[in-house]
Amino acid sequence: MSTPVRRLQLTDEVADRLRERIITGQVRPGEFIRLDEAAAEFGCSVTPVREALVTLRGEGLVRSSPHRGFVVDSLERTDLEDIFWMQAEISARLATHAVRSEGLGQELLGLSQIVDQLEQSVAQGDAVRVGEHEFEFHRRVHLVGGSRKLAWFLLAATRYTPYSLYTNDEDWGRQAVASHRRLIEHLAARDVEAVRAEIHNRFTDARDRLVRSLEAIGFWEVSRPVAQSVPQ
């Protein structure tokens, strides 16, 4: 029983890495992802790479090319707008449940402590810890809301978030700290509209940062010559 589970975990890890490369423009629409070269880079067999690409095909990020493997599909600005809108809506809904929860009050101190830790990690430039604190903050908010099914949908949607783009950005980190402190204040006041507005503003900012990053590398300009493998 352990072997299939381990392979599934590896497949998910490969899918995550390839998904982030596609979302951030490290591989462009029209470029081929070679199974053998990707497997060599990731230090695994071809099987989990193929399974990961089948997963990404189901998500519309790559498509099959007869006798040639997988090619990266188009990614438009409207796709990013839809992805971040969906994340914002689900996250705002979860936070709304938290506002109405009787257990919210006892969680506020813990949320503040997480933001203190986040602020320290941002100052230290520790991107790994920034990501961990960010995840834990939102996880705690969602748990207060008690809607586990909806939280699962959000987790699935956030697979399209290129976390390294944000956790390595000190400006983003400082703004995240300030936003989280405001969100805690809105939660404490049980101000649903302010909570929703704060969350939507953060996702809009995240979307705009990604769009600017893609524009800076000419992602939506005339297609460049097709590359033959996943970039190093």
Mean pLDDT (whole number) for 91-110:
94
Domain ranges of the chain: 2-75, 77-215
Q: Which residues contact 19 (CB under 8 A, 6 or more apart)?
A: 56, 59, 61, 159, 160
Cβ pair 188, 108 in contact under 8 A: yes
**Global pTM?**
0.86
Burial annotation 155-168 (CB, 10 A radius, 16+ → b, else e)? eebbebbbbebbbe
| pLDDT at position 227 over 50 | no
d(CA 126, CA 136): 16
Burial annotation 129-139 (CB, 10 A radius, 16+ → b, else e)? bbbbbbeebbe
d(CA 73, CA 153): 24
Residue 162 DSSP class: -
Cβ pair 104, 187 in contact under 8 A: yes
Residue with tokens 């497949």: 11
Residue with tokens 């053998």: 36
Residue range 9-38, pLDDT digits in tens: 889 999 999 999 999 999 999 999 999 999
Which strand (E) or helix (H) includes residue 63?
strand 62-65
219, 34, 51, 3 alpha-carbon torsion, rounded to 10°: -130
CATH of domain 2-75: 1.10.10.10
117-120 CB contacts, 8 Å cutoff, 24+ apart: 118/173, 118/176, 118/177, 118/180, 119/177
Q: Per-residue confidence at 228, pLDDT binned at 50, 70, 90?
A: very low
Yes or no: is domain 77-215 CATH 1.20.120.530? yes
The arrangement of strands across the sheet holding 32-33 comes to 32-33, 69-72, 62-65
Residue 4 is predicted with a pLDDT of: 39
Residue 69 is predicted with a pLDDT of: 85
